[in-house]
Amino acid sequence: MRSSLPERIDLQHHVLTRKYAVWTPPMDEMIRKIGDWIDMRIPGGYIFGPSRFGKTRCVQRYLRNVLTERFHRAMPLIIWNHRPVLAPGEADFWHKILIASAYDLTAPEKPPKKTAGFAICKNRFKTLADISGNNFVVLLIDEAQYMSFQEWKWLSGLQNDLDYDGYVLSVFSIGSHQIDYQPQYMSVTGNAHLAARFMVEHERFRGIESQRELGYVLNGYDEDSEWPEGSGISYLKYFSPADFRAGRRLRDIEKIFWSALNELSPNKRAQEFPMQHIANAIEEVLCQLAIEEDWGRVVEYKNILKIIGATGFSDHMRFISEKM
């Protein structure tokens, strides 16, 4: 919450609550790849990339709808946001997947016993496939870097049972860059069959790589966004209607914004930046404009540098550049 914002700004605006995402080229690449994997009915694939690049936002805001557009029907897609636990048990494992599938449990807080949980989960997946008029279902695991070998083995058993019954289960996993090392690690620890099943196909989720792509993102706030829903009012138009009417656009500052990102990046060789820090900086620009500050002062280079610096961008880039 910002106490300095004018009263005309609704504090429930999606920019302020951060319940939004703007479409980016990396998101487009990721969803197209998942769609290709669905077409091929592969048993498993994984998407990996550093944190804060926009993978989870893509899953939350766009994946299901874009796949529906591509395949002209709702996909039997279960999205599970994996969370690590100290000692994961099989009963708890199936319970969490059932909850992710929106299964109507009579006692949601109490996991069924592991054998029952497995059977219910298998039948749930078959039902979702039947409803879609196909024999195919997708389980997508977000934050998959936290998956244990045992959890992968449990999924392997489910996949085998469904295959025996004539159903195809594809398991797609999305996680941080650490998951890139899992296939090799699985191989040297006697679990090569899991890597061959779930991780042969892979794709790296990248950051924003060029000034042109940054301009595409900025245009999302200028034109390709809307709040309230159905209003036709973009984010820039809402926060700074006078500047919008005057023809000013955030895309016009793509060059100085890109220069600021490069200046603040500790790794001068890497031109690949996390979407979250870009979004946080743009949100601050919109809020400063809403206070009716001068456009020229808000978007001048030294102020953009200050805004991006305050997001923790440099420290994050220093951390991930060691692993990119």
pLDDT digits (tens, 9 = 90+) for 301-317: 999 999 999 999 999 88
Among 16-20, 33-37, 147-151, 214-218, the range scoring the smallest mean pLDDT is 147-151
Categorize the per-residue pLDDT at 115 as very low, low, confident or very high, splitting at 50, 70 and 90.
confident
Residue type, 203: E
The SS3 assignment for 171 reads strand
CA–CA distance from 52 to each of 142, 271, 278 (Å)?
A: 13, 15, 10
Query: Is 51 a residue whose pLDDT tops 60?
Result: yes
pLDDT at residue 178 in the model: 60
CA–CA distance from 268 to each of 53, 309, 313, 314 (Å)?
A: 18, 16, 14, 11
Q: What is the pLDDT of residues 187-201, one digit of tens each?
A: 555 566 777 788 888
Categorize the per-residue pLDDT at 106 as very low, low, confident or very high, splitting at 50, 70 and 90.
low
CA atoms within 13 A on the CB side of 57: 19
pLDDT at residue 324 in the model: 54
């540098």: which residue's tokens?
Answer: 305
pLDDT at residue 267 in the model: 78
Q: Domains in the chain, please, with CATH? A: 25-204 (3.40.50.300), 208-321 (no CATH)
Among 116-130, 172-186, 251-265, 272-286, the range scoring the smallest mean pLDDT is 172-186
The long-range contacts involving 231-239, CB below 8 angstroms and separated by at least 24 positions, are 235/14, 235/15, 235/286, 236/286, 236/289, 238/9, 238/13, 239/9, 239/15, 239/286, 239/287, 239/289, 239/290
Residue 106 has a CB neighbour count (10 Å cut-off) of 6
pLDDT at residue 84 in the model: 72
Give the burial string for 224-235 (b: 16+ CB within 10 Å, else e). Answer: ebbbeeeeebbb
pLDDT at residue 302 in the model: 97
CA distance 119 to 212: 50
- Mean pLDDT over 215-230 rounds to 96
CB-neighbour burial class of residue 109 (10 A; exposed 0-12, middle 13-18, buried 19+): exposed
- Mean pLDDT over 9-37 rounds to 95
CA–CA distance from 64 to each of 34, 120, 279, 321 (Å)?
A: 11, 24, 22, 31
pLDDT at residue 86 in the model: 61
pTM greater than 0.95? no
- Mean pLDDT over 93-104 rounds to 91
- Mean pLDDT over 94-105 rounds to 89
Reading the block at residue 263, the tokens are 């200046």
Asked if 16 and 290 touch (Cβ cutoff 8 Å), the reply is no
Phi-psi region of 247 (alpha: psi -120 to 50; beta: other; left: phi over 0): left
- Mean pLDDT over 234-240 rounds to 97
Q: What's the maximum distance between 2 C-alpha atoms anywhere in the chain?
A: 67
Nearest Cα neighbor of 209 from 278, 144, 310, 295 is: 278
CA distance 168 to 138: 8
Q: What is the pLDDT of residues 161-212, one digit of tens each?
A: 999 999 999 999 998 866 555 655 565 555 667 777 888 888 999 999 999 9
pLDDT at residue 47 in the model: 93
Reading the block at residue 35, the tokens are 């769609």
The β-bridge relationship of strands 136-142 and 44-48 is unpaired
CA–CA distance from 30 to each of 137, 246, 268, 311 (Å)?
A: 19, 36, 26, 26
Asked if 324 and 180 touch (Cβ cutoff 8 Å), the reply is no
Residue 258 has a CB neighbour count (10 Å cut-off) of 20
CA distance 257 to 270: 16
**DSSP structure class, residue 136:** E
CB-neighbour burial class of residue 35 (10 A; exposed 0-12, middle 13-18, buried 19+): middle
Residue type, 17: T
